[in-house]
Structure 1
Amino acid sequence: MTDHLPADHPPVQPEKIGVLLANLGTPDDTDYWSMRRYLSEFLSDQRVIDYPKWKWQPLLQLIILSKRPFSSGAAYRSIWNEEKNESPMMTITRDQTAGIAAEMTARFGDRVVVDFCMRYGNPSTKSKVRSLIEQGCRRILFFPLYPQYAGATSATANDQFFRALMDEKWQPTVRIVPPYFEEPTYVDALAQSVERAYGALEQKPDMLVCSYHGLPQRYLMEGDPYHCQCQKTTRLLKERLGISDEAITTTFQSQFGPEEWLRPYTVEHVAELARAGKKRIAVIAPAFSADCIETLEEINEEIRESFEEAGGESFTYIPCLNDDAAHVSALSDVIETNLKGWIEPA
């Protein structure tokens, strides 16, 4: 393609295919202003909080963001990766990307470039789209790392990706990876993590709690498929583990604001389990591809405390799949499926 270009033509890179992984995001640091910037961007997203701007923004900017950065900063400090001065989500997503990049090289050679971005904070979606295009990616597969689709997660990541494309003179051809909540390799990776955790315990838990990030109940009524996809993930995990309906349950965490959210609420339900005689439980978070503030701080501290204060005796948090080899392989399989027609394995 470059053989016939005139000498003064802008340089043209050899054509490649980009795979851009996207996760939620992370503050750059735990201080007040870093937290405020991050929370302002996150909570100003109308996919997340869909109240009218005239009503929500004064409340957010004048009241919520005057206090919440302090408490959120303290929560992030309790889990911060001090060695790398970054959040665990950043560390894990980078490691996932490296693992998937190695898989892509093994499967496709050097024609596929893998990178990651964050919907909120850095590295921004816009900067990574620009980077891939500069590397010669004329096709980009965008992969929101949310197994279950929700407007407040998958859709807003997609929105940001398309906004980034609006600024490009020469837009690449693009595809979006659909939710992978029922992919057998993903369910199998979840099951393996449960089996490993149970195998390390002296006594098997009475209940496996599948705790998913919550959404307002109204979103389900307006057509968001998230609740149904979460329920199906739990059912498939139950079938793969070969356990009874009585040994597994679906709950939702991280409620925010005055609205009714998807129920049962994890923090309340684990206490109810303890009072009902379920003294040993394990909690897994199938909606999160990487451990983050909602798992490391909320589940492993706040939700654990609720269970123990109600009389629970043994609380086991099963980490997210993170950069586990089975997870990296599962995500790579999803990518390979979605690259069909663009490139075939070497």
Structure 2
Amino acid sequence: MCAWHPFLEEAIDEIENSGIDSLVILPLFPQYSVTTTGSGFSILRKLIDKRPLFKKLDVQWISSWPDHPAYIDSFAQAIGRELVRFSSPDKVHILFSAHSIPESYVRNGDPYLEQTKKTVESIMDQLGRTNPYRLSFQSKIGPVKWLEPFTNDAIMQLGKQGVDDMLAVPVSFVSEHIETLYELDILYKKVAKDAGVENFRRVPALNSDPVFIRALADIVESTL
């Protein structure tokens, strides 16, 4: 990982001593951005270039998988499981929340926004429901302009419009961490309550969901 153990360098050290002859690098960011996958790949390439042994390996780089069928299906199933917990599932507003990035990257060709939109539309097609939905963005840092609408603003706006039931979907996050467990579950749940949203729930991150794990396996196997 980039920010915690095992760090990328630790993983590369282990791989170097493993005796393998091929390597598939699969980022756990479904949608590509230079700020996430691109940054991680840059670090990995520098680490690999320092190790002559890696020149003998067949290295495959997977850049993104925003609409892989099993990935989409795993999210659609997870949303379906949460919708039935509302008294009126068809009236629930589905709020997809993705990590924001600076707008300047998108203007310069970063595909993150379009790939995230593709993920959302694919999930809704697979879900096969007519619930209202929208995409918002969270986790902005720094003074520059980032992708909007921000999730907290979207929640407040929907609350003012009379939305009583809301289901948040952490569409760009595949595992639980501070941006789901704290930002969505605590901060934004309070925003929803203050905005008059009576029932605010969140779809769990995919984590070790069997359908999601099958998606990861399919992606890797397709490169071999």
TM-score, with normalisation over the residues of structure 1?
A: 0.62
Structure 1 equivalent of residue 110 of structure 2: 224
1:76-120 deviations in whole A, cap 9, x for unaligned? xxxxxxxxxxxxxxxxxxxxxxxxxxxxxxxxxxxxxxxxxx012
Question: Residue 309 of structure 1: CA displacement?
Answer: 0.4
Question: Any conservation in 1 of the 2:95–2:166 contact (CA below 8 Å)?
Answer: yes
Structure 2 equivalent of residue 121 of structure 1: 4
* Count of residue pairs brought into register by the alignment: 221
Partners of 2:161 and 2:48 in 1: how far apart?
53
Question: Any conservation in 1 of the 2:25–2:60 contact (CA below 8 Å)?
Answer: yes
Poorly superposed stretches of 4+, deviation over 2 Å: 199-203
Structure 2 equivalent of residue 18 of structure 1: none
Structure 2 equivalent of residue 48 of structure 1: none
Residue 123 of structure 1 aligns to which amino acid in structure 2?
P
Structure-to-structure mapping, 1:130-149, within 5 angstroms: 130-149=13-32
3-state SS of 2:208 partner = coil
Structure-to-structure mapping, 1:176-325, within 5 angstroms: 176-204=61-89, 205-244=91-130, 247-325=132-210
Larger Rg: 1
Partners of 1:317 and 1:287 in 2: how far apart?
14
Question: Any conservation in 1 of the 2:66–2:115 contact (CA below 8 Å)?
Answer: yes
Structure-to-structure mapping, 1:92-107, within 5 angstroms: none
Structure 2 equivalent of residue 60 of structure 1: none
Residue 161 of structure 1 aligns to which amino acid in structure 2?
L
TM-score, with normalisation over the residues of structure 2?
A: 0.95
Residue 226 of structure 1 aligns to which amino acid in structure 2?
Y
Residue 137 of structure 1 aligns to which amino acid in structure 2?
I
Question: Residue 135 of structure 1: CA displacement?
Answer: 1.2
Structure 2, gaps ≥5 residues long? none
Question: Residue 182 of structure 1: CA displacement?
Answer: 0.9
Question: Any conservation in 1 of the 2:83–2:92 contact (CA below 8 Å)?
Answer: no
Question: Any conservation in 1 of the 2:93–2:132 contact (CA below 8 Å)?
Answer: yes
Partners of 1:270 and 1:282 in 2: how far apart?
10
Question: Residue 203 of structure 1: CA displacement?
Answer: 3.0
Question: Any conservation in 1 of the 2:30–2:172 contact (CA below 8 Å)?
Answer: yes
3-state SS of 2:60 partner = strand
Residue 148 of structure 1 aligns to which amino acid in structure 2?
Q
Counterpart pick for 2:37 among 125, 146, 154: 154
1:269-299 deviations in whole A, cap 9, x for unaligned? 1111011011110001111111111111001
Structure 1, gaps ≥5 residues long? 1-117, 340-346
3-state SS of 2:24 partner = strand
Question: Any conservation in 1 of the 2:100–2:147 contact (CA below 8 Å)?
Answer: yes
Partners of 1:257 and 1:127 in 2: how far apart?
30
1:214-254 deviations in whole A, cap 9, x for unaligned? 0111111111110011111111111111233x611111001
Question: Residue 169 of structure 1: CA displacement?
Answer: 2.5
Question: Residue 206 of structure 1: CA displacement?
Answer: 2.3
Question: Residue 330 of structure 1: CA displacement?
Answer: 1.0
Question: Residue 138 of structure 1: CA displacement?
Answer: 2.0
Partners of 1:170 and 1:326 in 2: how far apart?
35
User: Structure 1 pair 286/159, CA: closer, same or farther in 2 (3 Å)?
Assistant: same
Partners of 1:314 and 1:277 in 2: how far apart?
12
Question: Residue 168 of structure 1: CA displacement?
Answer: 1.1
Confirm or deny that 1:163 pairs with 2:49. no
Partners of 2:191 and 2:147 in 1: how far apart?
19
Partners of 1:178 and 1:262 in 2: how far apart?
21
3-state SS of 2:101 partner = coil
Structure 1 equivalent of residue 217 of structure 2: 332
3-state SS of 1:252 partner = strand
**Larger relative CO (CA 8 A, sep 6+): 1 or 2?**
2
